[in-house]
Amino acid sequence: MSASTQLGIIVLILVLGFLGQLLADKLKIPSIVFLLAFGIILGPEFLGVIELKNFMSSLQVLISFSVAIIIFEGGINLDLREIRHTSGPILGLITIGVVVTCSVTAILSNFLLGLSWGFSLLFGALITATGPTVTRPLMRQTRVQNNISSIIEFEGVLNDPISALLAVVIFSMVSSGSFGALGLLNFFWRIGFGAIVGLIGGYLIYFFFKFGDLSEQYVRFSSIIFALAVFVSADIFIPEAGIMAVAIASIILGSHDFQHKERVIEFKEDISVVLLSIIFILLAALVSFEDISPILPWGVVVVLGILFLARPLAVYLSSIGSTLKTNEKSFISLIGPKGVVPAAMATFFTLEMEGGGTILGLVFLTIIVSVLFSGIFARPLAKFFDVMPMEVIIAGGGGVGSRVAERLHERGENVVVIDLDEEVAKNLRKKGIKVVVGSASNPEVLEKAGCNRTKFLIAATNDDETNLMVCQIAKSKFSLDSDKIVARVNDEENFDAFSDLGIKSMNPDLSSALILESLITRPEVFNMMEIGREGDIVEIKVKDERVIGKKLKNVCGEGIEECKQFPRSSLIVLVKRGEEDIIPHGDLVFEEGDRLTILGREKAVREARSIFESD
End-to-end alpha-carbon separation of the chain, Å? 62
Sequence-ordered list of residues with C-beta below 8 angstroms from that of 600, at least 6 positions apart, any chain? 528, 535, 536, 567, 569, 570, 571, 608
Distance set, CA 176 to CA 93, 125, 190 (Å): 30, 17, 18
Domains and CATH numbers, the chain: 3-384 (1.20.1530.20), 391-514 (3.40.50.720), 528-612 (3.30.70.1450)
Distance between CA atoms of residues 509 and 512, nearest Å: 5
Q: Is the pLDDT of residue 333 over 90?
A: yes
- Compute φ and ψ for 320, nearest 5 degrees: -60, 130
Given pLDDT bands bounded at 50, 70 and 90, which one contains residue 84? low
Residue 161: pLDDT band (50, 70, 90) is: confident
Q: What angle do CA 41, 42, 44 make, to 5 degrees?
A: 90
The single-letter code of the amino acid at 126 is L
Question: Rounded to whole angstroms, what are the CA distances from 419 to 106, 146, 477?
Answer: 49, 19, 20
- The 3-class secondary structure across 434-456, one letter per residue, is EEEECCCCCHHHHHHHCCCCCCE
Report pLDDT for 564.
67
Q: Residue 545 carries which DSSP code? A: T
Q: How many CA atoms lie within 13 A of 26 on its CB side?
A: 7
Query: Residues 303, 305, 306, CA angle at the centre, nearest 5°?
Result: 65
Are 379 and 143 in contact by the 8 Å Cβ rule? The answer is: no
The confidence score (pLDDT) of residue 72 equals: 86
DSSP-assigned letter for residue 540: E
Most confident of 134-138, 291-295, 418-422, 430-434: 418-422
CA neighbor of 480 nearest in space, from 443, 514, 512: 443
* Mean pLDDT estimate for the chain: 82
Indicate if the pLDDT at residue 531 is higher than 50: no
Instruction: Give the CB-side neighbour count of residue 609, counting CA atoms within 13 A.
Output: 17
Chain mean position to CA 607 = 31
Question: Alpha helix locations (H) across 48-145?
Answer: 56-76, 87-93, 96-113, 117-126, 132-142
- Using CB atoms within 10 Å of the CB of residue 183, give its burial: 0 to 12 exposed, 13 to 18 middle, 19+ buried: middle
CB 70 within 8 A of CB 247: no
| pLDDT grade for 178, boundaries at 50, 70 and 90 | low
Q: What is the pLDDT of residue 431?
A: 80
Alpha-carbon distance of 122 to 117, in angstroms, equals 8
Length of the chain equals 615
Helix (H, G, I), strand (E, B) or coil at 323: coil
For residues 197 and 241, is the Cβ–Cβ distance under 8 A? Answer: yes
- Amino acid 355: pLDDT: 66
Mean pLDDT (whole number) for 52-77: 76
CA distance 592 to 550: 11
CA–CA dist 151, 136 (Å, integer): 11
| pLDDT for 28 beyond 80 | no
pTM over 0.85: no
Q: Dihedrals φ, ψ of 517, to 5°?
A: -65, -45
173, burial (CB in 10 Å: exposed 0-12, middle 13-18, buried 19+)? buried
The pLDDT tens digits for 349-375 are 766 677 667 888 888 889 888 888 988
- 145 vs 236, which has greater pLDDT? 236
Check whether 615 has a pLDDT greater than 60: no
Cα–Cα distance measured from residue 334 to residue 123, given in angstroms and rounded to the nearest whole number: 20
CB atoms within 10 A of CB 559: 14
pLDDT tens digit string along 273-318?
A: 888 888 778 777 777 777 778 888 898 999 999 999 999 999 999 9
Work out the number of other CB atoms within 10 angstroms of the CB of residue 297.
Answer: 7
Query: What does the pLDDT look like over 191-201, one tens digit per residue?
Result: 899 999 999 99
Parallel, antiparallel, or unpaired: how do β-strands 595-601 and 535-541 relate?
A: antiparallel
Q: What is the pLDDT of residue 469?
A: 93
DSSP 289: H
DSSP class of residue 589? B
Q: Average pLDDT in the 462-468 region? A: 91
Q: How far apart are CA 345 and CA 341, in angstroms?
A: 6
* Helices and strands in the chain, H and E counts: 26, 10
Instruction: Give the C-alpha distances (Å, rounded to integers) separating 321 from 80, 91, 111, 232, 395.
Output: 21, 12, 33, 38, 36
532, HSE (Cβ side, Cα atoms, 13 Å): 6
Residue 334: is its pLDDT beyond 90? yes
313 vs 317: CA distance, rounded Å: 6
Asked if residues 590 and 552 have their Cβ atoms less than 8 Å apart, the reply is yes
d(CA 123, CA 367): 12
Q: What stretches of 258-308 adopt beta strand conformation (E)?
A: none
Residues forming beta bridges with residue 597, ordered by sequence position: 539, 574
pLDDT score of 17: 85
Is residue 126 predicted with pLDDT exceeding 80?
yes
Residue-level pLDDT at 395:
93
Work out the angle between the directed axes of helices 356-384 and 117-126 (0-180°, nearest 10): 40
d(CA 19, CA 21): 5
The CA distance from 280 to 17, in Å, is 9
